[in-house]
Amino acid sequence: MEQFRGQPRLPKFAVPKRYDIRLKPDLVVCKFTASVGIDLDIVDETAFIVLNAAELSVTPGSVHFKAQNSSEVFEPTKVEMVEEDEILVSEFAHTLPMGMGVLGIGVEGTLNDKMMGFYRSTYELNGEKRNMAATQFEPADARRCFPCWDEPACKIFCCAIPITQTGYGRNPGFRFWGNGNYGLVTYRDTELLYDDQHSAAVDKQGVAIVVAHELAHQWFGNLVTMEWWTHLWLNEGFATWVSYLATDNLFPEWKIWTQFLVESNESLRLDGLAGSHPIEVEINHTDEINEIFDAISYTKGASLIWMLQSYLGPECFQTSTHIARKNYHKEISYFHESKNHVEVREVFWREEMDGDSD
């Protein structure tokens, strides 16, 4: 198992296709159990299955693999949780059969207080303090809820966007502005609730921008996903640009793009420091990801998108972006399946330039 230690990415001999996840939280003792069935495509000869897991305890005897074309159930000879690399390694006595199969795993965990993975939060109802369970999986914390391939290129894509209805939920004490979950977008109270009688005008503006940003992630982030966190700016830059675009269309009297220029000073300041980073940063460990959720990825990224839109014109830009999203979202999402591996930057730039030439 030593060959899997210290690696920035998971090996690619197994590709997840579908997850069947059953969670049972106990809000009194703040513990939970999870059982996971993962449809896997074994694409290369291997006697190992390696996936992400962290701060979980594997239920003894729960790990097994059953090939689709066989009645035989393969049980591992050794199961090891490598905490420093946040991986779960199962070693089998024989090479696993190629093709589809189902991996089953049972785990136990704690509803932590770190706002990471599957965690506990509190709220008050009629003066009584109560616990609630919530999730925060981005950027790399789904592994704290259930074992999985916790990389953006391995996401499971089987849903239509836009969906017929999107829910909005409060998450008391949330440390982020919002989280653009598919179907249920959650927000910090101050970024969702607005009262004409008691809230300031700046609060209304903040709610508009944040709500638009998180809804934009349904397309840029959920539907179209970067292959790895190196390209984070594509997620956050697009969502930031869309948030100002939507707000400007709804409330043109705010002159929101003028405010954007003023707010861009922070990204310019960061970009001028010796410790600045390029808009694309090579990420070699998940510990490095949070460091690039900053004004450079968000505001500088949005500035590049805005610049390109201004060069091409709004109509051409929108048409080309729609074509790129429609034609290539599976290639951008499913890097393991795509025979014609397509870099999202190349796709986007090619469609924009083709649109301009038309």
Over the range 101-136, which residues count as b (16 or more CB within 10 Å of their CB) and which as e?
A: bbbebbbebbbeeebbbbbbbeeeeeeeeeeebbbb
Dihedral sign (CA 171, 228, 334, 84): negative
Q: Which of 86, 151, 191, 214 is catalytic?
A: 214
Q: Compute the distance between CA of residue 184 and CA of residue 170 in angstroms, rounded to an integer.
A: 10
Q: Compute the distance between CA of residue 143 and CA of residue 34 in angstroms, rounded to an integer.
A: 12
**Hey, what amino acid is at 159?**
C
Among residues 298, 307, 216, 208, the alpha carbon closest in space to that of 256 is found at: 208
Which pair of tokens denotes residue 297? 């990825």
Among this protein's residues, is 214 annotated catalytic?
yes
> DSSP letters along 109-167, please?
EE-BSSSSEEEEEEEEETTEEEEEEEEE-TTTTGGGTS-B--SGGG------SS-S--E
236 assigned ligand-binding residue:
yes
Count the neighbouring beta carbons within 10 Å of the beta carbon of residue 178: 21
Compute CA distances 118 → 27, 56, 180, 337, whole Å. Answer: 12, 11, 16, 30
213 assigned ligand-binding residue:
yes
Distance of CA 337 to the CA centre of its chain: 19
Q: Compute the distance between CA of residue 164 and CA of residue 184 in angstroms, rounded to an integer.
A: 12
Q: Compute the distance between CA of residue 213 and CA of residue 314 in angstroms, rounded to an integer.
A: 19
Compute CA distances 102 → 62, 73, 159, 181, whole Å. Answer: 13, 10, 21, 26
45 assigned ligand-binding residue:
no
Among residues 85, 215, 95, 102, the alpha carbon closest in space to that of 150 is found at: 85
Q: Compute the distance between CA of residue 106 and CA of residue 84 in angstroms, rounded to an integer.
A: 21
Q: Compute the distance between CA of residue 300 and CA of residue 236 in angstroms, rounded to an integer.
A: 10
- Pairing of β 167-170 and β 184-187: parallel
Binding residues: 213, 217, 236
Binding residues for Zn(2+): 213, 217, 236
Positions marked catalytic: 214
